[in-house]
Structure 1
């Protein structure tokens, strides 16, 4: 994982985000990496994960192995 400044990426926020504080992260999927940023600070830093690590994270989340 590295951090970088946001560039021209197509960012998506979960359709389930919202609520009174609207706290959420946004994700942008690139060819080789996935960027994650704070939706309240869109000009702030971006966490950049290799695609394979992001896919492993999603698989673990879907299998409920993140406790």
Structure 2
């Protein structure tokens, strides 16, 4: 299931790490995943029941290039 968030919300959501980069829906390997992915650091933040969990402790680490199969 793909992430469905209000476009205005997506415009203001940002990664909670120091770079505060924008987030995009899905992952490079799975654009339909219920995850928001940081465009800078690559961390994945889960979306649970339509609510983004923007905690660094809950984020999945970025997948190095070439390992996303």
TM over 0.5: no
Give 1 or 2 for the bigger CA radius of gyration. Answer: 1
Q: TM-score range by the shorter chain?
A: 0.3 to 0.5
More helix by share: 1
More strand by share: 1
